Amino acid sequence: MDEQSGIRVALVGAGGGFGRTVLLALRRHPAQRPTVLCDLDTEAVRALLEDLGYDAPARVCSEVREVRHAVENGAIAIVADTALIDPHAYDVLVEATGSVPVSARTTLAAVEADRPVVLVSKETEATIGVALGRRAADRGVVIRAGAGDQPANLAALVSCARDLGLEIVAAGKSSEYDLVLDLDDATVSLQEATAAAPDLVEHWHLGEDVAAGVEARRAATSTLKLRAAADYCELTVAANLTGLGIDTPELHYPILRTTELADVLRPRQEGGLLGTAGVVEVFTSLRRPDEASFAGGEFVVVRVHDREVAELLAAKGHVVSGRRDLICIGLPFHLMGLEIPRTIAEAHARVPRPATTGPLVSMLARTTEPLPAGHRFVVAGHHHEIAGTHPWLRTGATDGAAPYYALDGARLRHEVPAGHLVQLSDVDGVDPLVLELLAEQQPTP
């Protein structure tokens, strides 16, 4: 491939782990190439390119004209400021900062320059993705969620099931890390944490009373932190991409073996956990050390209207319910930026973003402890969580409640108690553009 050919890609957030996977994918892709890379640590990006074996020269640029000149001459431009991303130097923007204000401004700048966007920042999608999508559509520009992360992969799986005429009972993903149970030692591990778990061994088999079995597993692992804000964020995005709903504000979050999904994620009147069908859910994968992980992958549980077909599929090893009425179809992986070239190609071809068909689902913040006046909310850690709060999902209008990731950097105007759903009126410091976009995407009364 000529070094000047192919789809030119600008990547914002190039220095992170996701950025590395994107750059690795582009390094091997015959029809796509990075031309502008943005990250606060420009030297780390330069070192990353060298580590991945890029042949093209990399130049740190401090002016737009330098960016354009570098790209025109076959170099990769590296910048620390999103304002230096020259639209003449790229064809598709991949946005992966995870910062809602930065992401919003960078995305809108691309849209105004008639450049399609692959929006990887799920925090932005969960907060203002619908409004950004509408603004882009008004200008005839495409914004697409990035393949390789769970929301886009789950939306594609749901779309496939619908195209086949299958009735979706539930859809979702496994949490990022598994519970690994050693049945011989009666211990359970979650990453580096290990705990004695004799009660969990006792409930390795769920039993006929699904709700009781799920609760017993939860009690047996009460010392481990299983819920993560990232899971709530991803399912908020997935709900809005697919039109599926939620069953409960905190989700059920059951601890399940993969073989149990079709038996548990069904309506309660059918012996399952759900109050209704057609919802998104997350489960914590329980497995032995010698069993394969679901790897944070995605699934749909669909209804099978013929017992003989269900028996046939069960004989081939599919996850089929004991009643032979539901089947779970899974994609036990998400490969991060390694899958991004698919979405880059779709965005470049102006394949439209799926229209939001259901009521808006929002991820809000509920306090887990009393918080004083002046308390500053900060998104931190690998799972991008806000200390002192817990995600709380809501369908329809937010009624003034503050979306979870809109709170990053905001301060409380007054003391709030534990269990309080944080309101926009409770805080100062929410980014003005984010507030503007939030107002645009609220349902009209």
Query: Within this chain, do residues 393 and 251 fall inside the same structural domain, yes or no?
Result: no
C-alpha closest to that of 89 among 115, 60, 111? 115
* Token pair listed for 436: 């503007």
The pLDDT confidence band at residue 39, using thresholds 50, 70 and 90, is very high
Domain count, the chain: 3
Say which CATH number the domain at 28 has: 3.40.50.720
pLDDT at 271 (0 to 100)? 95
Long-range contacts of 200-204 (CB under 8 A, 24+ apart): 200/286
* Token pair listed for 144: 């697409």
The CB-side HSE value for 150 (13 A sphere, CA atoms) comes to: 31
Longest Cα separation, the chain? 68
Say which CATH number the domain at 410 has: 3.90.1210.10
The pLDDT confidence band at residue 2, using thresholds 50, 70 and 90, is very low
Per residue in 247-290, pLDDT tens?
A: 999 999 999 999 999 999 999 999 999 999 999 999 999 999 99
Per residue in 348-402, pLDDT tens?
A: 999 988 777 789 999 999 999 999 999 999 999 888 999 999 999 999 999 999 9
Query: Within this chain, do residues 63 and 202 fall inside the same structural domain, yes or no?
Result: no
Query: Within this chain, do residues 45 and 74 fall inside the same structural domain, yes or no?
Result: yes
- Asked, for residue 131, whether it belongs to a domain, the answer is yes
Query: Within this chain, do residues 320 and 171 fall inside the same structural domain, yes or no?
Result: yes
3 pLDDT more than 60: no
Structural domain range at position 208: 152-334
- Asked, for residue 20, whether it belongs to a domain, the answer is yes
CA distance between the termini of the chain: 54
Q: Whole-prediction pTM value?
A: 0.95
pLDDT at 382 (0 to 100)? 81
Per residue in 112-157, pLDDT tens?
A: 999 999 999 999 999 999 999 999 999 999 999 999 999 999 999 9
Query: Within this chain, do residues 244 and 298 fall inside the same structural domain, yes or no?
Result: yes
pLDDT at 4 (0 to 100)? 61
* Token pair listed for 382: 């690998």
Helix (H) or strand (E) run with residue 92 in it: strand 92-95
Q: Provide the percentage of residues in the chain whose pLDDT is more than 70.
A: 99
C-alpha closest to that of 273 among 199, 206, 362? 206
Say how far apart CA 197 and CA 182 lie, in whole Å: 9
Q: Which one of 348, 373, 401 terminates a domain?
A: 348
